[in-house]
Chain A
């Protein structure tokens, strides 16, 4: 019995962390956030060297065939460094969708370039989680119509799109009839956008007529977002603790005041169980099917709530400087804030959890 990370998993996290610390430090993240460049190509290339885009793609198609837990561990590191990189859609949701629901031909056409990172994929499936207004995408048998908000990994070459029946399609970014608008959000470390389909040609993933596929793809995304929040919140807590040891007022480090210590203790007490929860949800996703859906909903809801609490409290520990742009702490605050809303906020996930158990 072992409920913990293997040596390989720890090494994987270390290698991604080391790469990002060297090549995507805060100044690089800021440059991406401020300049609104579509992609941080250098960061992406580095992640490609590490095999990240193909981590969930089987070896037959040029990937390394790792587990969803491994992907969540990488997502945690990306969140911890607010990395300006595509991941949730491009390395997780889209490859999984193609592997589960694509034809053999689609798999051989798409998976290899995705694994190599030559093709970057976005995912526009938010309407399957919770549609706002009457936004929906419809399929007329050959083309897509309607609009999808909040495409993840927006600056992509191809998009995974869910229609109102939860069937899944791939749409080329350059397809005629596809209009793309980047949305201005709180989180400048990643790009989100709107896709408008005016009769855009698309290819159906044939096995996605089973609506379960779309649910599984959403759940995989939710686990990644939860892991990203876990990493970001852990960094905010670490930075609050470090700051409280350096900052001196009334002749002593503010970290020696109980008011400050207790804020940090409360953050740690809330956050530490989230680590085991993320591990379990990501592991259960593949290995304990009976528990997978419920655990995913609760994990994203719970970690989002804890993340919000840590983001606020860690900022407060920093005092006024935490509110300014000086330390860049707000980049983490906003990343956590965005993750909370994406693919289902805590309230709707808890309602889904109740439905799964026939309690609603």
Chain B
């Protein structure tokens, strides 16, 4: 056991802090895209090694050796200072690492630099109305016509499709192959003729995702990652980066601290909610669970650094992390009593309605990105080695 990062890393932490303090006035104020500030801030971060850190220079990154601890320190310090850590999104977070592994040289040159600069934003076209948990059964078709792919079909749950410039999309290109071997991974501009985007309203009142319809969408033959029929493999390489992102225990800790403040501030008949032993016990119960997930995360970081296996500890993060967050937000609503039903604008609302918003959003996240039930299948089959459900004879 050695929980210190070491002096070299502490120096890096100080350097990161100094950078943030010296430049924070240039950062965009919130996480939304700011046409003026965001691209300038992004370039400053890349030039100084705080974004796209380990992406090679020739593709527009900073070109440092990958270093898990430095990446962690950067994330910690930007979060602590509550300063934007640069652009994220599906392109930068998921597509770029996958392209580095599996893209052609031409694709890397063409797509990675503008994606890092924020000039191309991406959406992910995977799920379909009849292919959710059973993703590999998707039916959106891609047929080669001369030297062009022609895509027809429909995607659903597509986040940011309304604003994204490009889509990376999983399609069925080999209708006669077994289902996992019949897919291809295509890239195309959302401005291409034949694409229609319809936002889906959700229970939070916002639209977090869309339906996307394709009617004879034509794109050049070479806008494919990997070979024909290799799409499932490519998509899995992307999903690997995606599951890591849900259920972040540090974000949950910040939210827990806000919940403590709420329970100190709110009163019932003149008594602080915190002084009600039932509420206090529920609060402490959640704190214990938050702690367990933070230590689990520390274990995962260490396992990554020291090349140890902690696959079961990693597999459970999405399931546990999203459930815990949903429970935490729900406790805040209970602590608010009747005030807890307020939403939208208006008097008496607390924290801009964020407790209700997050409570609902996290129910969405329990379902999205692989439902809780699919997570349990994965944990039991891959983590515990339990037998798969026998296939139905068709």
Interface residues of A (CB under 8 A from B): 1-4, 6, 69, 241, 244-245, 252-253, 255-258, 260-262, 264-266, 268-270, 272-277, 279-280, 283, 287-288, 295, 298-299, 301-302, 305, 346-347, 350-351, 353-354, 359-360
Q: Inside 8 A of B283's CB, which chain A residues have their CB?
A: 354, 359
Interface majority SS on A: helix, strand, loop or mixed? helix
Q: Inside 8 A of B385's CB, which chain A residues have their CB?
A: 241, 245
Q: Take A256-B386, A258-B377, A298-B288 as given contacts and tell me if A3 and B299 are in contact as well, using a CB distance cutoff of 8 Å.
A: yes
Contact assessment for A350 and B281 in the assembled complex, using a CB-CB cutoff below 8 Å? yes
Q: How far is it, in angstroms, between the C-alpha of A2 and the C-alpha of B283 when the chains are bound?
A: 31
Given A2-B1, A268-B384, A269-B379, 12 new contacts (CB under 8 A): A1-B5, A6-B1, A69-B1, A252-B390, A258-B373, A260-B386, A264-B380, A266-B376, A268-B379, A279-B1, A301-B288, A305-B288
Q: Take A273-B313, A350-B285 as given contacts and tell me if A245 and B386 are in contact as well, using a CB distance cutoff of 8 Å.
A: yes
Contact assessment for A2 and B306 in the assembled complex, using a CB-CB cutoff below 8 Å? yes
Q: Inside 8 A of A346's CB, which chain B residues have their CB?
A: 285
Shortest CB–CB separation between residue A272 and chain B, in angstroms? Answer: 5
Contact assessment for A272 and B312 in the assembled complex, using a CB-CB cutoff below 8 Å? yes
User: Which residue, A256, A268, A269, has most C-beta atoms of chain B within 10 A?
Assistant: A269
Can you list the 10 inter-chain pairs with the closest CB atoms, starting with the nearest?
A350-B284, A265-B376, A302-B288, A261-B380, A276-B295, A273-B296, A3-B302, A265-B379, A273-B292, A298-B288
Q: How far is it, in angstroms, between the C-alpha of A4 and the C-alpha of B3 when the chains are bound?
A: 10
Q: Inside 8 A of B277's CB, which chain A residues have their CB?
A: 351
Shortest CB–CB separation between residue A10 and chain B, in angstroms? Answer: 11
Contact assessment for B288 and A351 in the assembled complex, using a CB-CB cutoff below 8 Å? no
Q: How far is it, in angstroms, between the C-alpha of A83 and the C-alpha of B102 when the chains are bound?
A: 52
Q: Take A244-B386, A264-B384, A301-B288 as given contacts and tell me if A272 and B1 are in contact as well, using a CB distance cutoff of 8 Å.
A: no
Contact assessment for B288 and A262 in the assembled complex, using a CB-CB cutoff below 8 Å? no
Which listed residue, B260, B285, B287, B388, touches A256 by the CB 8 Å rule?
B388
Q: How far is it, in angstroms, between the C-alpha of A287 and the C-alpha of B1 when the chains are bound?
A: 10
Contact assessment for A1 and B305 in the assembled complex, using a CB-CB cutoff below 8 Å? yes
Residue B134, interface by CB 8 Å:
no
Interface majority SS on B: helix, strand, loop or mixed? helix
Q: Inside 8 A of A260's CB, which chain B residues have their CB?
A: 386
User: Which residue, B1, B319, B389, B390, has most C-beta atoms of chain A within 10 A?
Assistant: B1
30 contacts between A and B (CB under 8 A): A1-B305, A2-B1, A2-B2, A2-B302, A3-B299, A3-B301, A4-B299, A258-B373, A258-B389, A260-B386, A261-B377, A261-B381, A261-B386, A262-B380, A269-B316, A269-B320, A269-B376, A272-B316, A275-B313, A276-B296, A276-B298, A279-B299, A287-B3, A301-B288, A302-B291, A305-B285, A351-B281, A359-B274, A359-B280, A360-B280
The B173-199 residues at the A interface (CB cut-off 8 A) are: none
Residue B293, interface by CB 8 Å:
yes
Which listed residue, A3, A253, A270, touches B387 by the CB 8 Å rule?
A253
Q: How far is it, in angstroms, between the C-alpha of A296 and the C-alpha of B306 when the chains are bound?
A: 27
Q: Inside 8 A of A261's CB, which chain B residues have their CB?
A: 376-377, 380-381, 386
Q: How far is it, in angstroms, between the C-alpha of A298 and the C-alpha of B316 when the chains are bound?
A: 20
Q: Inside 8 A of B388's CB, which chain A residues have their CB?
A: 256
Interface residues of B (CB under 8 A from A): 1-6, 9, 69, 260, 274-275, 277, 280-281, 283-285, 287-289, 291-293, 295-296, 298-299, 301-303, 305-306, 308, 312-313, 316, 319-320, 373, 375-377, 379-381, 383-390
Q: How far is it, in angstroms, between the C-alpha of A269 and the C-alpha of B314 when the chains are bound?
A: 10
Number of A-B contacts (CB under 8 A): 161
Residue on A nearest B320 in the bound complex, by CB: A269
Q: How far is it, in angstroms, between the C-alpha of A255 and the C-alpha of B379 when the chains are bound?
A: 13
Which listed residue, A3, A252, A262, A269, touches B298 by the CB 8 Å rule?
A3
Residue on A nearest B293 in the bound complex, by CB: A273
Q: Inside 8 A of B301's CB, which chain A residues have their CB?
A: 1, 3
Q: How far is it, in angstroms, between the C-alpha of A350 and the C-alpha of B285 when the chains are bound?
A: 7
Contact assessment for A4 and B295 in the assembled complex, using a CB-CB cutoff below 8 Å? no
Q: Inside 8 A of A273's CB, which chain B residues have their CB?
A: 292-293, 295-296, 313, 316, 320
Q: Inside 8 A of A279's CB, which chain B residues have their CB?
A: 1, 295, 299
Q: How far is it, in angstroms, between the C-alpha of A258 and the C-alpha of B133 when the chains are bound?
A: 14
Contact assessment for A277 and B387 in the assembled complex, using a CB-CB cutoff below 8 Å? no
Shortest CB–CB separation between residue A48 and chain B, in angstroms? Answer: 27
Which listed residue, A257, A272, A299, A360, touches B296 by the CB 8 Å rule?
A272
Shortest CB–CB separation between residue B367 and chain A, in angstroms? Answer: 15
Q: Take A1-B302, A268-B379 as given contacts and tell me if A255 and B373 are in contact as well, using a CB distance cutoff of 8 Å.
A: no
Shortest CB–CB separation between residue B277 and chain A, in angstroms? Answer: 8
Q: How far is it, in angstroms, between the C-alpha of A274 and the C-alpha of B162 when the chains are bound?
A: 42
Contact assessment for A255 and B386 in the assembled complex, using a CB-CB cutoff below 8 Å? yes
Q: How far is it, in angstroms, between the C-alpha of A269 and the C-alpha of B313 when the chains are bound?
A: 8
Q: Inside 8 A of A268's CB, which chain B residues have their CB?
A: 312, 316, 379-380, 383-384
User: Which residue, A244, A280, A283, A299, has most C-beta atoms of chain B within 10 A?
Assistant: A280
Contact assessment for B6 and A353 in the assembled complex, using a CB-CB cutoff below 8 Å? no
Q: How far is it, in angstroms, between the C-alpha of A295 and the C-alpha of B298 when the chains are bound?
A: 15
Q: How far is it, in angstroms, between the C-alpha of A359 and the C-alpha of B286 when the chains are bound?
A: 14
Contact assessment for B308 and A4 in the assembled complex, using a CB-CB cutoff below 8 Å? yes
Residue on A nearest B9 in the bound complex, by CB: A1
Which listed residue, B284, B293, B298, B383, touches A354 by the CB 8 Å rule?
B284
Residue on A nearest B2 in the bound complex, by CB: A2
Q: Inside 8 A of B316's CB, which chain A residues have their CB?
A: 268-269, 272-273
Contact assessment for B376 and A241 in the assembled complex, using a CB-CB cutoff below 8 Å? no
Contact assessment for A350 and B288 in the assembled complex, using a CB-CB cutoff below 8 Å? yes
